[in-house]
């Protein structure tokens, strides 16, 4: 009988064990690599897909009016962002109102309501009056979210009450609140309850607008016994865009700052400015540093009647500085430089500072830097001196632009609410692009004729019901150009509301305070911003391209 070789069995077993160990090692290594990638990987900024995609996505805007179709960029409140709703911003729903109505049904014996409507005198302090207004508003103003009712006051007649409330528009993604106050006429409804017979127009309830002591400070208009007191503009108390102070010198030295010197972005378009500004702010957040912010903006020529770049525009004219302060760590440049200067005067040692002269020094390389100030300097020729270059390349994986931090100015948005409210939030709108585009027959051969008064009249007849409020957002310079539409619609143009930024307006007084007592021009960018936001709030919106003309939005053969 043949004996087996005792050495063959260990070799086979060793080979199997070796293969098993190799496979197990490969598996463990794969799991380790996958885990590391899952932990460290950050998805790229969707705005940084590629240079062409960046340009197209960033400048893409369906809402431009005055200069071009890319004249207004969307800001943080235009994007749906998941965030906790502030308690004071929770909407008043029918269920909430019915619950409140049930509580007061048997708890208000002091309010006796006579069911004889002819003898009725409305007690405006009766909580059932407010319940009637709340129900009416929910039924009539479908596009409004009602947040809080603030005041009820007597009207000018026994059956009238003035009521004030806070609200926001459903089409606005932010939780900012706006104010309205209206006069309501009441009658007797079913079961001897109050009902709203008639609602006044926007801001008609002047007695609920403010305490009477402040109304006495108003101006007198008219003459003789018919003169009436007109209340002065009331400051929006929710706007607090004062510049925060840096604090003591000791606090200055304990801080960590990221300071960007002015670069080639200055006097570029607003889209360019914001793209670069959010890059710097994003880097500061990545480095866990306070961003040193220059509030001075240079508005490019296309938005100015002078057709020249205009320096010295305040950031707060266009954007919500209060919101920016709440969600990011910033210090105004003047305050920062003053604190730095005071420190140098009172201490023998200098503030630890690292100067960075090239954008090619990445934020990742600065992450562990312990200097008090990281000072990025942009002295190279264009385009090497653009701020946004810092966020290109590998940095795009780490720097997330904080779009949520940038909202449009509350002062401009107050104008938007004022205009929309005067139309009772019940209007349609048409966007009519003309200007230089209508004159350029090579790129837009049909635009001029397709947006002529006759063509507009025929087109809108099939899209919008007659005698509706029709808001026209346009860059057409001639006010009477749309007169033909007035025979069919209640036409509204931005210039119909120019008193809202006139020298007796709240906007005028508030911006003048920001400008050291000097009047501020309501410039082209402001016009576009307000015009556009009103357009967004329309129930039916008609666009120039794709609705009024077959011409391509960006010229011939670009559709």
pLDDT by 10-residue block (mean), the chain, 559 residues? 50 69 71 58 38 41 36 73 61 81 65 56 89 94 92 92 94 88 89 88 90 40 43 65 74 88 94 95 97 96 90 96 94 92 82 94 96 95 94 95 94 96 96 91 94 96 96 94 96 97 94 94 94 94 93 88
Q: How many C-beta atoms lie closer than 10 Å to residue 111's C-beta?
A: 13
Residue 50 makes CB contacts below 8 A (sequence gap 6+) with: none
What's the CA gap between 182 and 201, in Å, rounded? Answer: 6
The answer to whether 77 and 172 have CB atoms below 8 angstroms apart is: yes
pLDDT value for 434: 92
- Predicted TM-score of the model (pTM): 0.80
Q: How many C-beta atoms lie closer than 10 Å to residue 174's C-beta?
A: 21
Give me the domains of the chain, ranges plus CATH numbers: 88-230 (no CATH), 240-405 (3.40.50), 410-542 (no CATH)
Would you give the end-to-end CA distance of the chain in angstroms? 90
What's the CA gap between 127 and 162, in Å, rounded? Answer: 13
pLDDT value for 409: 95
The torsion defined by the Cα of 449, 450, 454 and 458, in degrees rounded to 10, comes to 160
pLDDT value for 189: 75
pLDDT value for 549: 94
């Amino acid at each position: 009988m043949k004996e087996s070789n005792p050495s063959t069995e260990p070799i086979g077993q060793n080979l199997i064990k070796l293969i098993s160990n190799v496979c197990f090692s490969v598996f463990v290594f794969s799991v380790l690599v996958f885990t590391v990638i899952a932990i460290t990987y950050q998805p790229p900024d969707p705005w940084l897909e590629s240079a062409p995609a960046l340009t197209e996505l960033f400048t893409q805007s369906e809402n431009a009016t005055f200069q071009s179709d890319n004249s207004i960029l969307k800001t943080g409140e235009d994007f749906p962002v998941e965030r906790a709703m502030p308690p004071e911003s929770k909407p008043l729903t029918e269920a909430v109102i019915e619950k409140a109505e049930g509580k007061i049904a048997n708890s208000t014996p002091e309010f006796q309501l006579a069911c004889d409507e002819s003898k009725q005198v409305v007690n405006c302090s009766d909580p059932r009056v407010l319940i009637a207004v709340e129900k009416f508003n929910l039924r009539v103003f479908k596009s409004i979210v009602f947040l809080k009712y603030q005041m009820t006051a007597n009207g000018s007649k026994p059956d009238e009450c003035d009521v004030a409330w806070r609200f926001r528009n459903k089409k606005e993604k932010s939780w900012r609140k706006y104010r309205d106050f209206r006069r309501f006429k009441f009658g007797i409804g079913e079961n001897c309850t109050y009902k709203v017979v008639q609602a006044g127009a926007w801001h008609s309830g002047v007695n609920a607008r403010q305490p009477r002591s402040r109304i006495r400070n108003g101006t007198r208009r008219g003459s003789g016994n018919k003169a009436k007191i007109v209340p002065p503009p009331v400051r929006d108390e929710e706007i607090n865009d004062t510049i925060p102070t840096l604090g003591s010198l000791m606090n200055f030295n304990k801080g960590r700052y990221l300071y960007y010197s002015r670069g080639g972005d200055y006097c570029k378009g607003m889209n360019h400015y914001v793209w670069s500004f959010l890059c710097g702010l994003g880097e500061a957040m990545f480095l866990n540093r306070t961003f040193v912010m220059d509030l001075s903006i240079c508005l490019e020529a296309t938005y100015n009647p002078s057709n020249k770049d205009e320096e010295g525009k305040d950031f707060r004219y266009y954007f919500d500085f209060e919101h920016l302060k709440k969600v990011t760590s910033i210090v105004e440049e003047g305050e920062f430089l003053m604190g730095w200067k005071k420190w140098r005067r009172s201490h023998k040692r200098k503030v630890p500072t690292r100067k960075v002269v090239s954008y090619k020094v990445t934020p990742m390389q600065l992450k562990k830097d312990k200097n008090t100030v990281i000072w990025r300097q942009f002295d190279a020729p264009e385009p090497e001196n653009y701020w946004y270059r810092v966020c290109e390349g590998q940095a795009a994986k780490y720097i997330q632009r904080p779009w949520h931090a940038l909202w449009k100015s509350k002062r401009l948005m107050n104008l938007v609410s004022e205009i929309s409210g005067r139309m009772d939030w019940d209007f349609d709108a048409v966007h009519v692009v003309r200007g230089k585009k209508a004159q350029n027959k090579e790129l837009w051969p049909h635009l001029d004729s397709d947006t002529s008064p006759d063509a507009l009249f025929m087109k809108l007849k099939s899209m919008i019901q007659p005698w509706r409020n029709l808001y026209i957002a346009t860059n057409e310079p001639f006010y009477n150009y749309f007169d033909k539409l007035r025979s069919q619609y209640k036409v509204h143009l931005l210039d119909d509301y120019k008193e809202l930024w006139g020298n007796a307006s709240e906007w005028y007084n508030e911006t003048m305070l920001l400008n050291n007592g000097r009047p501020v021009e309501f410039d082209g960018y402001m016009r576009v911003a307000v015009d556009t936001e009103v357009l967004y709030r329309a129930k039916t919106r008609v666009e120039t391209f794709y609705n009024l003309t077959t011409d391509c939005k960006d010229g011939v053969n670009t559709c």
